[in-house]
Amino acid sequence: MATILVTNDDGILAEGIWALAEELSQIGTVYVVAPDRERSAIGHAVTMSRPLRIKRYGENAFMVDGTPADCVKLALETILPKKPDLIASGINNGPNLGTDIFYSGTVSGAMEGAFYGVPAMAVSLAESYSKEAYRTAASEGLWVAKTILVRGLNPETILNVNVPFPTKKRALTTLAPRLYSKAFEERKDPFGRHYYWMAGEVIANAEPDEADVSAVSKKITSITPVNFSLDRISDRDPYKSWPLK
């Protein structure tokens, strides 16, 4: 049986992390190490200005008052009894598509595992957020996890998985640029002072069929290999023999 670390950026109370942990428990011993609160869009931040604290949340479950990257570091260096065979980050409450991954704590949790040489994946639910949708995303995550454990990943690579609901099939994809219109909304506080709230809508582009955005829009589970060497960030070639159907 495999040893599997599950983390996220939505916090240990998020529904998605427990759906994923339960599904992955079919193939191994699962440890959950996650932030004690939501840490969405925190990217790959680590905590260096204060101490970190770990609290046990249940059997093989721990919460950390830090970022997803902190959680993975502490799990690998302090909490887990041995190096895991797989790290799974998610299920994120919302998509992590295209260049948005650079802001994603979910993807960064997986990427931190890759820094340590552990095969890793990030799983995001692109829409719906019902119990059935989370079960679907967890099932897709289980399939990807099984395939990683059998076939492996290239060094320095994670798989970024985005699951629409319902999903029809799976496809290997590439990253697409993601830009937003009117990214900041100007408002005034009760004292008349201006402040800005990040908002905005995705600018629709004619994305190529192989892009992750295109796949999800067609109800296809998007599986994107992402390498942390930025000169070769997305390479599908080593995985084209995977039995996606």
Mean pLDDT of the chain: 93
CA distance 45 to 66: 9
Predicted local distance difference test score (pLDDT) of residue 104: 96
State mean pLDDT over 56-80. Answer: 97
Strands 169-172 and 220-227: parallel
Is 175 within 8 Å of 191 (Cβ atoms)? no
* CATH classification at residue 8: 3.40.1210.10
159-177 pLDDT, tens per residue?
Answer: 999 999 999 999 999 998 8
Check residue 179 and give its pLDDT. 72
Average pLDDT over residues 28-57: 96
Task: Say if 193 falls within a structural domain.
Answer: no
Using 50, 70 and 90 to split pLDDT, how confident is the model at 206? low
CA neighbor of 1 nearest in space, from 32, 30, 33:
30
Domain span including residue 139: 2-175+208-239
d(CA 179, CA 192): 30
142 in a structural domain = yes
- Considering its fold, how many domains does the chain have in total? 1
153 in a structural domain: yes
As given in the structure block, the two tokens for residue 11 are 């916090």
Say if 49 falls within a structural domain: yes
Angle (nearest 5°) at CA 100 between 236 and 159: 30
Q: Please tell me the distance from the alpha carbon of residue 97 to that of residue 216, in angstroms, as a whole number.
A: 9
Count H helices, E strands: the chain?
A: 5, 13
pLDDT value, residue 184: 84
Q: Tell me whether residue 83 is in a domain.
A: yes
216: pLDDT confidence band, cut at 50, 70 and 90? very high
Q: What is the pLDDT of residues 98-112, one digit of tens each?
A: 989 999 999 999 999
Region 38-64: mean pLDDT is 96
